[in-house]
Amino acid sequence: VRRVSGGGTADGTRPLRADAARNREALLEAARDVFAVHGSGVGAAQLVRDSGMSKAALFRHFRTKQELFLEVLAEDARTLGDRLALAADLPDPAEAFRAFMVQGAEHMVENRGLLEATSGQMFDAPRVRAMLATVADACDRVLERAQRAGVAREDLVGLDLLLLFKAPAGTVMYLEDAAPQVWRRYLDLLLDGLRPEGARPLGTPAPSPAGLPGLGATTHDDEFWHRNEET
Amino acid sequence: VRRVSGGGTADGTRPLRADAARNREALLEAARDVFAVHGSGVGAAQLVRDSGMSKAALFRHFRTKQELFLEVLAEDARTLGDRLALAADLPDPAEAFRAFMVQGAEHMVENRGLLEATSGQMFDAPRVRAMLATVADACDRVLERAQRAGVAREDLVGLDLLLLFKAPAGTVMYLEDAAPQVWRRYLDLLLDGLRPEGARPLGTPAPSPAGLPGLGATTHDDEFWHRNEET
DNA sequence: ACCTGAACACCGTTCAAGT
DNA sequence: ACCTGAACACCGTTCAAGT
């Protein structure tokens, strides 16, 4: 009943027994869908239902519900990274820039999990920061191309793009089913603001990546899940 | 142990006994602060701690934690409404328009409660919709003035402004303490997109207020707090 | 080594008993 | 009429026992 330092994920831990690996995958599989639709708040019972496993099994594979959530999130971030890379490499710089932003925003809209993860406390998890660090590089690249081509204003930095992915997503929630596509309208609006024409100087300086303590995947593990309790 | 139809808030229910009224206010007082900082997720214990009341008392005054949250939210919405009205009436239309958006965005940034309330499920609560209906009118007014003065693009509608309040707020959460003011940067960016210069046609039509089923404070009470469970 | 049903702890909510 | 401490139900997590 001693807990080994490594934890149990992708460290140096031995590979899982075949059936266990399959079970773990079944749990993840179920979790993906359920989290995407219901967000991180769903009950453990719901998470397990479609996997055919018991709640106890879930907690054998993942130390906590949050950890399962993060695991799903990490996969999800990889998907986002792929989509973004594809968009960023389109031949026309303006087209690439636009597609990049569309992909980023769309991903946030479709993925309640990622949206939650970047809202508030959860963002402190080193794994989440590490995810975003990867994406940050891609941001720098598309933006630079766009700026050189004169289709993006000069006072932007790569990190801005990352932060802006979330902006249109917030607007959907008001209307959800009524108008699930409104976010595109507001992304268009925002994109008009990102072009050089009619740009007015920004009153607030760009955030520096240095401001994000964890960017670069520094910290070790997740001692981050304490809320501020007590007096 | 029968539950009367009215509920127990501002209906036709008799006024509270003096001490009870004081206690209720103490509960609200404490809740305001705690909710604003910690969001709607805080424990009932935390909510009560500063009020000197027992948990049971809380549930005597408010049918549920959510209801207390909504109560606080309603007050908060009133504050927002006042701020917005003030901004909207500034003499210069361009100035009024800008101030309006700043107030809206700032309120969302400062108020984790309202931000949560407009994210996802909670928005279905009739009381929340009613709140926003009031604000929607103010939106129409400032926007029309701005458009007549040629400082806002013609393809906007009032409801757009309301939806856009939230956009800059989302960006803060990434940086929180590191750069609590970044949202102003992204609001500036957005505002550049709202001006007529350099505006490109929007691919997605404006949402109609009719799309918001509850706008106008139609529905009765809050039978809205069920999640989708079971198979 | 991995799974499970039963147990534990915590928290939102309710109840019986006090004033 | 309103308050409270104790009880209840639910859910995340853990444990003892099985294979």
Per-residue pLDDT tens digits for B25-76: 999 999 999 998 888 889 999 999 989 999 999 999 999 999 999 999 888 8
Q: How much is the pLDDT for B97?
A: 98
What is the rounded CA–CA span in Å between residue A223 and residue A63?
12
SS (H, E, C) A73-118: HHHHHHHHHHHHHHHHCCCCHHHHHHHHHHHHHHHHHHCHHHHHHC
DSSP 8-state assignment for residue B10: S
Integer Cα distance of A154 and B74 in angstroms: 42
Q: What is the pLDDT of residue B76?
A: 87
Nearest to B186 among A167, A186, A227 (CB): A167
Assigned token pair, B169: 């707020």
Compute the average pLDDT of residues A179-201.
95
Q: Quick one: pLDDT band at residue A115, thresholds 50, 70, 90? A: confident
Nearest nucleotide to B56 (CA to C1') is D4
Has residue A193 got a pLDDT over 90?
yes
- Cβ contact B192–A191 (<8 Å): no
Residue A174 pLDDT exceeds 50: yes
- CB contact under 8 Å between B179 and A213, yes or no, is no
Which pLDDT tens digit goes with each residue over A44-73? 999 999 899 999 999 999 999 999 999 998
Question: Which of A49-53, B146-150, B226-230 comes out lowest in average pLDDT?
Answer: B226-230
CA dihedral A49, A53, A55, A60 (to 10 degrees): -140
- List bases in chain D with any atom under 7 Å of a protein Cβ: 1-6, 11-16
The position carrying tokens 């993860």 is A117
Three-class SS of residue B169? Answer: helix
Largest CA distance in chain B: 64
- Spatial neighbors of A131 by CB under 8 A, at least 6 apart, are A73, A74, A77, A81
- Which residues from B are below 8 Å from A231, CB to CB? 49
DSSP string, chain A: -PPPTT-SSSSSPPPPPHHHHHHHHHHHHHHHHHHHHH-TT--HHHHHHTTT--HHHHHHHSSSHHHHHHHHHHHHHHHHHHHHHHHHT-SSHHHHHHHHHHHHHHHHHH-HHHHHHTSGGGGGSHHHHHHHHHHHHHHHHHHHHHHHTT-S-TT--HHHHHHHTHHHHHHHHHHTTS-TTHHHHHHHHHHHHHSSTT----SSPPPPGGGSTTTTT-S-S----------
DSSP notation for B190-207 = HHHHHSSTT----SSPPP
What is the pLDDT of chain B when averaged over all its residues? Answer: 83
Of B185, B199, B204, the CB nearest to A184: B204
Which CA-bearing residue is nearest the C1' of C11?
Answer: B43
Separation of first and last alpha carbons in chain A: 33
* Packing angle, helices A166-175 and B166-175, rounded to 10: 130
Predicted local distance difference test score (pLDDT) of residue A8: 40
Distance of alpha carbon B53 from alpha carbon B171, whole angstroms: 37
Residue partners of A77: CB distance under 8 A and separation at least 6: A114, A128, A131, A132, A134, A135
- Residue B227, pLDDT > 50, answer no
pLDDT in the model for residue B228: 33
Residue A209 in this model has a pLDDT that exceeds 80: no
Tokens 């995958």 appear where? Answer: A25
How far from B79 is each of A6, B36, B106, B113, CA to CA, in Å? Answer: 50, 14, 12, 13
Residue type, B125: A
Interchain pair B198, A195: CB under 8 A: yes
Q: Count the neighbouring beta carbons within 10 Å of the beta carbon of residue A46.
A: 18
Helix (H, G, I), strand (E, B) or coil at B98: helix
Q: Which of B163, B188, B202 lies nearest to residue A171, judging by beta carbons?
A: B163
Give the bases of strand C that a protein CB approaches within 7 Å: 1-6, 11-16
At residue B224 the predicted structure's pLDDT band, cuts being 50, 70 and 90, is very low
Q: Considering only A5-14, A52-61, B98-107, which range has the smallest mean pLDDT?
A: A5-14
Tell me, what's the pLDDT at B189? 98
Question: Where is pLDDT greater, at B12 or A109?
Answer: A109
Q: Which residue of B has its CA nearest to A50?
A: B231
Residue A45, chain B, CB below 8 Å: the answer is: no
Distance (Å, whole) CA B8 – CA B3: 10
Convert the pLDDT of each residue in B158-195 to its tens digit: 999 999 999 998 887 777 677 889 999 999 999 999 99
List the one residue out of B111, B101, B182 whose CA is nearest residue A162.
Answer: B182
CB atoms within 10 A of CB A111: 21
Residues near A33 by beta carbon (within 8 Å), at least 6 away in sequence? A50
Residue A101 pLDDT greater than 50, yes or no? yes
Compute how many other C-beta atoms are within 10 angstroms of the C-beta atom of residue A131.
24
Best mean pLDDT range from A9-13, A70-74, A222-226, B217-221? A70-74
Look at residue A2 in the predicted model and tell me its pLDDT. Answer: 34
Q: Tell me what the mean pLDDT of segment A178-206 comes to.
A: 95
Task: Give tens-digit pLDDT for B187-216.
Answer: 999 999 999 999 999 999 998 876 555 554
Pick among B34, B162, B186, B226 to test the A interface (most A CBs inside 10 A): B186
Distances (CA, A) of B107 to B77, B78, B91, B169: 9, 12, 22, 9
Q: Are A186 and B164 within 8 A, CB to CB?
A: yes
| Nearest nucleotide, CA A54 to C1' | C4
Compute how many other C-beta atoms are within 10 angstroms of the C-beta atom of residue B152: 25
The pLDDT value recorded for residue A123 is 59
CA distance A40 to A66: 8
A141 touches chain B (CB under 8 A): no
